[in-house]
């Protein structure tokens, strides 16, 4: 199997991107898949919840764009379920506007080592998003079932189509993942129906239910499948990993 490079993006902040990347990577790792998380968010949240210190003086993802040898940027969290290229506050002031495409082959020398490369993206950084979509094979969109979270989707898909036409014809939208799901409200049901009508059942994944254990796990810097293996969210991440392994 050749590596699947998946960008996780949603223009809205707080829409579950980081939670999805880290916990899905752990669930895939638990099933024996080799995963690399790439934290391209200057907020360093994926780094923090993976148990690394974002205030480290070491080189991180920012140095990817500074001709640093990529293998030397890879770290392994203590749980060893995935590898990570962390983001460190002292090394993430990179700006890619205008030079996003210079780095298109950045993962080529490590791609044979991994089954999945999962990229966490920040809200509101079109330069980083353009780079990520240019180097990825897939886009996945974590999506709370709320009207405002859907607002940015059309814009994001506009960018995806531009990039697929100009730079990366093979990229696909492979998943919209409902997150923080609470199907007791009419509103959530209406949004889910609209998503399914628009994108079809294959693109819309089962999703991750709202579960306070997710925030607790992040606080303890552990993936949910280790922190609360019997929780609703741990079950949902196992199922999402299964869906990914079946798909595409
Ligand atoms: N299924 C869930 N149940 C309960 N809380 C959740 C769930 N998923 C995410 N959260 C919480 O929602 C908040 C936002 O999630 P997260 O940080 O993953 O979003 P994000 O899109 O990465 O945010 P940003 O745009 O700032 O990078 C976090 O506090 C997280 O713990
Ligand atoms: Mg985030």
- Helical spans, DSSP H, in the chain: 17-30, 45-49, 126-135, 147-166, 186-199, 213-219, 224-227, 232-246
Q: How many CB atoms lie within 10 A of CB 188?
A: 18
Q: Of the candidates 56, 195, 64, which has an alpha carbon nearest to the alpha carbon of residue 119? A: 64
Q: Please report the pLDDT score of residue 148 as a whole number.
A: 81
Which residue's alpha carbon is nearest to atom 25 within ligand 1?
13
Q: Measured from the CA of 12, which atom of ligand 1 is nearest?
A: 25
pLDDT value for 1: 67
The verdict on domain 4-246 having CATH code 3.40.50.300 is: yes
Position in ligand 1 atom list of the atom nearest CA 43: 27
The binding-site residues of ligand 1, defined as CB within 6 angstroms of any ligand atom, are 13-19, 41, 43, 45, 122-123, 179-180, 208, 210-211, 214-215, 218, 233
- The pLDDT tens digits along the chain (248 residues) read 699 999 999 988 999 999 999 999 999 999 999 999 999 999 999 999 999 999 999 999 999 999 889 999 999 999 999 999 999 999 988 999 999 889 989 999 999 999 999 999 999 999 999 999 999 999 999 999 988 878 788 889 999 999 999 999 999 999 999 999 999 999 999 999 999 999 999 999 999 999 999 999 999 999 999 999 999 999 999 999 999 999 75
| DSSP of 67-135 | T--GGGG-B--TT-SSEEE---GGG-----TTTGGGGTTTTTTTGGG-SEEEEE--TT-HHHHHHHHHH
Compute, in angstroms, the gap from residue 50 CA to the centroid of ligand 2.
12
Which one of the ligands is nearest to 182 CA? 1
Atom of ligand 1 nearest to the CA of 215: 31
Task: Please tell me the predicted confidence (pLDDT) of residue 37.
Answer: 98
First-to-last alpha carbon distance for the chain, in angstroms, is 11
Would you say 17 and 120 are in contact if contact means Cβ atoms under 8 Å apart?
yes
């Amino acid at each position: 199997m050749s590596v699947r490079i998946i960008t996780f993006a949603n223009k809205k902040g707080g829409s579950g991107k980081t939670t999805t990347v880290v916990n899905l990577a752990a669930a895939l790792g638990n099933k024996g898949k080799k995963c690399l998380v790439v934290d391209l968010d200057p907020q360093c949240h994926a780094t923090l919840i993976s148990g690394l210190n974002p205030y480290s003086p070491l080189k991180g993802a920012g140095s990817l764009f500074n001709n640093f040898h990529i293998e030397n940027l890879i770290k392994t969290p203590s749980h060893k379920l995935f590898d990570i290229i962390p983001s460190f506050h002292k090394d993430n002031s990179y700006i890619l506007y205008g030079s996003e495409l210079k780095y298109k082959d950045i993962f080529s020398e490590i791609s044979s080592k991994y089954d999945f490369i999962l990229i966490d993206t920040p809200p509101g950084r079109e330069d980083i998003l353009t780079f990520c979509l240019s180097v990825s094979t897939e886009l996945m969109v974590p999506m709370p079932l709320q009207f405002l979270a859907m607002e940015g989707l059309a814009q994001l898909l506009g960018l995806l189509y531009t990039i697929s036409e100009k730079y990366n014809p093979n990229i696909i939208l492979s998943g919209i993942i409902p997150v923080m799901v609470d199907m007791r409200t009419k509103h959530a049901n209406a949004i889910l129906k609209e998503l399914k009508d628009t994108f079809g059942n294959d693109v819309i994944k089962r999703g991750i239910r709202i579960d306070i254990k997710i925030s607790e796990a992040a606080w303890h810097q552990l993936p949910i499948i280790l922190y609360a293996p019997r929780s609703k969210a741990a079950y949902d991440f196992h199922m999402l990993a299964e869906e990914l392994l079946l798909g595409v």
